[in-house]
Amino acid sequence: MVDPFNRALCMTADAEGYGRRSDPEKAVVQEQLSEVLGRAAEQAGLARDTWQRQPKGDEELAVIPSAEFEPAVVDPFIAALDRELSVVNLGVPPSRRLRLRVALHHGVVHPAALGFGGQGVVHVCRLVNGAAVKQALTAAPDSNLAVVLSPEVFDHVVRQGHTSLSPKDFREIDVTNKEITAKGWLRVPGSDVHALDLGQPRAAKPAPAGRVAHIEFHDVVNAEHATFGFREG
């Protein structure tokens, strides 16, 4: 088991729209979820059998040991998961596709009577259920996956250049869920996350760089009906 008061990478993967499915369809979703996570881990070179996992029906919570390369979870594992979801969803009606929300956070976790305890586990579960993360899948109907990283994972793994991903691939969001008010970094593979309507204000984009014109007048100028323009040359 996880050592008491250990810090670890926590991941949760949650299936969209589970509650509206019939009982047989729920069983299929659970099987598909387990399979796509397993195949994605194998493709990324990860030892999923060493992960401490707590299945919760339409969701799996995993505590990933430090022996696993954290950037491999953030980058190639997520990329493989997106590919596996594309295979599962090929030819499936939109209402029956398997689409996931995934959250990653590095924090405190410890064994508890019914699974795991610790603020790291609580935080990752709150992140994955944030309103903006759920809205991302609604706003990007052709995407299979919405991924949210905590600032700890984003700053230490993505921003520091340990993956093939650019910080520009992510959008900072606010997450308010129960007792948690936090920031997250959202990515939606296959979609421009910055163009999605998440129900949150977009950060102002800097104006494009341009040429600076300097005009001097050395006498009184009547410019009441004048038009100023610029021409290349």
**What domains sit in the chain, N to C, each tagged with a CATH number?**
6-195 (3.30.70.1230)
What pTM did the predictor assign? Answer: 0.82
85 Cβ contact list (under 8 Å, min separation 6): 36, 98, 99, 100, 144, 145
> Higher-confidence residue: 61 or 232?
61
Start-to-end C-alpha separation, the chain: 72
12 vs 88: CA distance, rounded Å: 20
pLDDT in tens, 25-46: 899 999 999 999 999 999 999 9
Give the residue-averaged pLDDT of 169-194: 91
Would you say residue 54 has pLDDT above 90?
no
pLDDT in tens, 120-160: 888 999 999 999 999 999 999 999 999 999 999 999 999 99
For the chain, what is the mean pLDDT? 85
174 vs 42: CA distance, rounded Å: 33
Would you say residue 212 has pLDDT above 60?
no
Query: What does 22-34 look like in DSSP terms, one character per residue?
Result: -HHHHHHHHHHHH
> Higher-confidence residue: 30 or 208?
30
pLDDT band at residue 223 under the 50/70/90 scheme: low
83 vs 89: CA distance, rounded Å: 10
What is the pLDDT, as a whole number, of residue 225? 54
> Higher-confidence residue: 162 or 108?
162
Would you say residue 165 has pLDDT above 90?
yes
What is the pLDDT, as a whole number, of residue 200? 67
Tell me the helix, strand and coil percentages in the chain, rounded to 5: 35, 25, 40
46 vs 70: CA distance, rounded Å: 10
Would you say residue 97 has pLDDT above 70?
yes
pLDDT band at residue 208 under the 50/70/90 scheme: very low
